[in-house]
Amino acid sequence: MEQHKPQINKLYFKAFRAVDNRAACMKFIEGHTHVLEIFGITKITSAKIDWVLNPGVYVVIVSAEEDGKALAGSRVHIADGITPLPVEGAVGDMDNRIYGMVADRVANGTGELCGVWNSWEIAGLGVGSWVLSQITVALSSLIGLQSLFGLTAPATYRNAVRGGFRVVKEIGINGKFYYPKEDLTATVVLNDELDTLPTATQESHDFVMALRKNPKQIIPIPNKTNDGFIDMHIDIVL
């Protein structure tokens, strides 16, 4: 029987520290794992679940009702010089220069935007990886990070560049690696200027700055599947 997508006119974006909300972490893991399985991806470092015990991990979870089922999500891992970032685990064996790049930035506050996913229920609504990534970039600034790494799939690479990230061409094959499987590629990206986002598009820049100024707000956006609007209830106050 064909599944019909639910009518969605509200989405709740809630940020929290992983160690403070185990139940929400489990919702995130369940949703993320299901999406990866659909695409036949089983070996990916950002899908490991040991992060739920890491006090340096912050999570954004998206649901259609408050405290409801996770429909999308993302994470920020703060680099502490002890626990490797997911990007280090993913490409470090192929190019160990990633370790030095992360280590050089730990003192000033660096981390990684990772684990970005969305479910079929909200695919096509216009609130996918771009909106979620910008909200997570704003969160990264609020927790004191000055720079942010990422490992992008071909489908999300363009959104990363729009958001002010650059390709780390110094490593891999001009920043690209065969990951998580030999027939797939991923690109390492870096935003070294989270405070000002000088290379981000105007739309991305303004969206992030507005969220920093007011990290709890409701933003209506056009629903791309009909003529209506979706109210994004954003709360990244920690």
- pLDDT (tens digit, 9 = 90+) per residue, 175-196? 999 998 888 899 999 999 999 9
Q: What is the pLDDT of residue 37?
A: 67
Residue 125 neighbours by CB distance under 10 Å: 21
Q: What is the pLDDT of residue 201?
A: 97
Cα separation of 181 and 131, whole Å? 27
Q: Which residue intervals of the chain are DSSP H helices? A: 22-38, 86-91, 97-103, 129-142, 154-162, 202-213
pTM: predicted TM-score of the whole model, two decimal places: 0.92
Cα separation of 13 and 39, whole Å? 25
pLDDT at position 40 over 70? no
Domains within the chain, CATH numbers bracketed: 10-235 (3.40.630.30)
**pLDDT tens-place string over residues 103-113:** 999 999 999 99
Cα separation of 165 and 151, whole Å? 11
* 226 neighbors 6 (Cβ within 8 angstroms): no
Cα separation of 60 and 89, whole Å? 22
Residue 32 pLDDT grade (very low, low, confident, very high; cuts 50, 70, 90): confident
Q: What are phi and psi of 230, to 5 degrees?
A: -115, 125
Query: Does the CA dihedral 45-51-56-61 come out positive or negative?
Result: positive
Cα separation of 59 and 65, whole Å? 17
Please give the C-alpha separations between residue 169 and each of 24, 60, 238, in angstroms, as whole numbers: 36, 29, 34
Please give the C-alpha separations between residue 192 and each of 4, 51, 91, 173, 216, in angstroms, as whole numbers: 42, 24, 19, 20, 25
Residues 6+ apart with CB under 8 A from 38: none
Q: What is the pLDDT of residue 43?
A: 62
Query: Which residues on adjacent β-strands are paired with residue 216?
Result: 235
Residue 39 pLDDT grade (very low, low, confident, very high; cuts 50, 70, 90): low
